[in-house]
């Protein structure tokens, strides 16, 4: 679930508050549409209506099947949907906390820092870009940016 959460947040360039609105039933209902479309994509349904929306009870976010950076949101969300199907969970939030509630962004932040530390300390780091980033990462950097700022930058060409 954690990888799927970060993938949706980053690929949709969403703040953490919006990602938690992702809905399991709506996402599953629209899942095949993205695969069968001539331009393959991933559909994430947020359980919210934005200003001016009247027909759907969901706000639909469209993600690339595979991003220019090589991220594969379809693979991660497909794994998550498969996990829920195996557990016979058909509705509710797409991202659950261990207590069974809708996950809150604050719950994911410490995990994000742990992942960044792991990537920073991993050897060998195969990507030159990751090597450069790893050399510049520091506690103040992570505290200043965190996953919410990083994900918000996801859809902005200025941040890549």
DSSP 53-67: --S-SSEEEEEESS-
Q: What is the mean pLDDT of residues 124-151?
A: 51
What pLDDT is recorded for position 40? Answer: 86
123 is written with which tokens?
């050897």
What pLDDT is recorded for position 98? Answer: 79
Residue 72 has pLDDT above 90, yes or no: no
What pLDDT is recorded for position 83? Answer: 93
Cα 94–chain centre separation:
11
Task: Yes or no: say if 6 and 25 are a contact pair by the CB < 8 Å rule.
Answer: no
Confidence band for 160, pLDDT divided at 50, 70 and 90? very low
Residue 15 has pLDDT above 90, yes or no: no
- Read off the pTM: 0.70
Residue 37 has pLDDT above 50, yes or no: yes
79 is written with which tokens?
């794994």
On average, the pLDDT of the chain sits at 75
Which CA distances in Å does 153 have to 9, 10, 63, 131, 148?
A: 10, 7, 15, 20, 9
What pLDDT is recorded for position 61? Answer: 87
Structure-model confidence comparison of residues 69 and 148, the more confident one: 69
Residue 143 has pLDDT above 80, yes or no: no
Q: What is the DSSP letter of 103?
A: P
What pLDDT is recorded for position 71? Answer: 83
Q: Which fold has domain 2-159?
A: hpI Integrase; Chain A (1.10.443)
């Amino acid at each position: 679930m954690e990888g799927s959460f970060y993938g949706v947040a980053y690929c949709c360039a969403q703040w953490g508050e919006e990602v938690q609105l992702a809905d399991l039933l709506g996402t599953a209902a629209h899942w095949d549409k993205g695969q069968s479309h001539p331009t393959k994509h991933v559909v994430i349904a947020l359980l919210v209506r934005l200003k001016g929306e009247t027909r759907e009870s969901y706000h639909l976010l469209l993600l690339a099947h595979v991003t220019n950076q090589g991220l594969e949101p379809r693979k991660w969300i497909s794994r998550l949907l498969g996990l829920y199907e195996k557990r016979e969970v058909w509705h509710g939030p797409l991202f659950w906390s261990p207590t069974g509630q809708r996950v809150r962004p604050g719950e994911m932040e410490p995990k994000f820092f742990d992942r960044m530390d792991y990537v920073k300390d991993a050897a060998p780091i195969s990507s030159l870009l990751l090597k450069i980033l790893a050399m510049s990462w520091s506690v103040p950097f992570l505290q200043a940016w965190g996953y919410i700022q990083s994900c918000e930058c996801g859809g902005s060409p200025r941040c890549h």
